[in-house]
């Protein structure tokens, strides 16, 4: 049977058929896996989110959108959203500018540049859980930070930051920044190296100061990279989980709860699979809408022309 159809295909070389067959062939493996491991679980989560379900009983207790109402009314979940938002804002306001400054510095020629690049990038290579464990050991009372600050006469300034509801988010943000600034730095550095040096030289010849050259030549040309960096930073901050779960488990008293931590706790610790799924759906929709909006309005200029038609 296959020999007949393939023979016919050879006899009638329809370009359109060949194109579609090619597209299907290339898409099918990825599509099958995508459906199995992405679309299907999302659909399942969406279905579970409409039930009050502990994972054991049959899925019969249909509650409509009650899980969503409950989540959005829960002060703990609202707190988690605020914490995520705060991490996003802090990342954009502090982490990215910091990484940009380092990238600009390390893009100039000087001795030890390679070693510095390596050092700054190193934290990103360490697994998130390891980072969290080491940070906990450093920051705990009688830990490295405590001993070090006492040794240099700043013992009074030590504070168990991770154990104080008022400071825990800042401590976590510090750890996040430590881990991820190197990644953004490398991204931006790669972007900087794609900018021809002649352009800055031309600006200098035209009388632009170094600062003006950066402001009016380098930064605009670095725009696409910055926008990608910002995008990754936002998505990362919204999905923040591992680091928080290992260091504080969202505590003390929910002061460092994030949406993902809340979802995991309700779903897999408290076995409220229906409710946890609802939280997961909220998180998904939020990320999805944000990603689409960002693509549509911010990354549009960068991606235009990247796709080839016809």
Partner 1 sequence: MTHRRLAALLAVIAIVLAACTGGGAATSAPTTAPGSEAPAASAPAASEAAGEPVTITWYHIQNNDPGLSLWKDLADEYMAAHPNVTIDIQVNENEAFKTKLTTLLQQGDVPDLFQTWGGGGLRQQVEAAFVKDITADIADWKDEINPTALAMYEVDGKNYGMPFDLGLVGMWYNTKTFEEAGITALPATWDEFLAAVQTLKDKGEVPIALAGKDTWTGAFYWAYLAVRECGQAGMDKAVLSGDWSDPCFVKAGEDFQKLIAMEPFQEGFLAAPWDGAGSGAAAMATYNGAIQLMGQWLPGTVQANSGEARAMGEGLGWFPFPGVTGAAGDPFDGLGGGNGFAVGKDAPPETIDFLHHLVSLDSANRWGALNSGILPTTNGSEASTTDPMLSLVLEGRAKAKFVQLYLDQATTPELGGAINEAVATLYGGDGTPQSVVDAIQAAASAQ
60/307 with CB nearer partner 1: 60
Q: How far is the CB of 309 from partner 1 (least distance, A)?
A: 21
Residue whose tokens read 């679980």: 41
- Residues numbered 234-273 forming contacts with partner 1, rule: CB under 8 A: 247-249, 251-254, 265-266, 269-272
- Residues numbered 60-119 forming contacts with partner 1, rule: CB under 8 A: 70, 76
CB 165 within 8 A of CB 253: yes
Rounded CA gap, 94 and 84, in Å?
A: 15
Is there binding between residue 277 and partner 1 (CB under 8 A)?
A: no
CB 247 within 8 A of CB 136: yes
Among 57, 127, 193, 300, binds partner 1 (CB under 8 A): 57
CB 61 within 8 A of CB 49: no
- Residues numbered 172-231 forming contacts with partner 1, rule: CB under 8 A: none
Among 72, 124, 136, 150, binds partner 1 (CB under 8 A): 136
Q: How far is the CB of 107 from partner 1 (least distance, A)?
A: 40
Q: Which stretch binds partner 1 (CB under 8 A): 41-49, 158-166, 193-201, 209-217?
A: 158-166
218/256 with CB nearer partner 1: 256
Rounded CA gap, 310 and 301, in Å?
A: 20
Q: How far is the CB of 277 from partner 1 (least distance, A)?
A: 14
Q: DSSP string covering 91-138, please?
A: IIIIIHHHHHHHHHHHTS--TTHHHHHHHHHHHHHS-HHHHHHHHHHH
- The partner residues of 62 in beta bridges, in order of sequence, read 51
């Amino acid at each position: 049977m296959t020999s007949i159809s393939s023979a016919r295909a050879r006899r009638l070389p329809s370009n359109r058929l060949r194109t579609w067959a090619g597209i299907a062939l290339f898409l099918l493996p990825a599509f099958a896996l995508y459906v199995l491991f992405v679309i299907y679980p999302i659909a399942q989560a969406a279905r579970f989110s409409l039930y009050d379900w502990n994972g054991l009983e049959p899925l019969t207790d249909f509650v409509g959108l009650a899980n969503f109402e409950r989540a959005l009314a829960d002060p703990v979940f609202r707190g988690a959203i605020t914490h995520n938002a705060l991490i996003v804002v802090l990342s954009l306001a502090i982490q990215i500018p910091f990484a940009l400054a380092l990238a600009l510095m390390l893009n100039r020629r000087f001795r030890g540049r390679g070693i510095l690049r390596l050092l700054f990038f190193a934290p990103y290579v360490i697994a998130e859980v390891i980072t969290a464990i080491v940070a906990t050991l450093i920051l705990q009372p009688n830990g490295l930070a405590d001993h070090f600050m006492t040794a240099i006469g700043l013992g009074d300034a030590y504070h168990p930051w991770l154990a104080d509801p008022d400071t825990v988010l800042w401590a976590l943000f510090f750890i996040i920044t430590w881990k991820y600034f190197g990644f953004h730095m490398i991204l931006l550095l790669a972007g900087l190296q794609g900018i021809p040096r002649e352009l800055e030289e031309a600006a200098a010849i035209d009388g632009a100061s170094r600062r003006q050259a950066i402001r009016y030549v380098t930064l605009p040309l670095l725009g696409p990279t910055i926008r990608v960096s910002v995008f990754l930073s936002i998505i990362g901050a919204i999905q923040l989980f591992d680091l928080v779960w290992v260091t504080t488990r969202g505590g003390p008293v929910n002061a460092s709860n994030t949406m993902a931590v809340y979802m995991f706790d309700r779903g897999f610790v408290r076995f409220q699979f229906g409710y946890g799924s609802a939280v997961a759906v909220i998180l998904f929709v939020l990320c999805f809408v944000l990603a689409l909006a960002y693509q549509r309005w911010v990354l549009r200029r960068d991606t235009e022309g990247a796709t080839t038609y016809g």
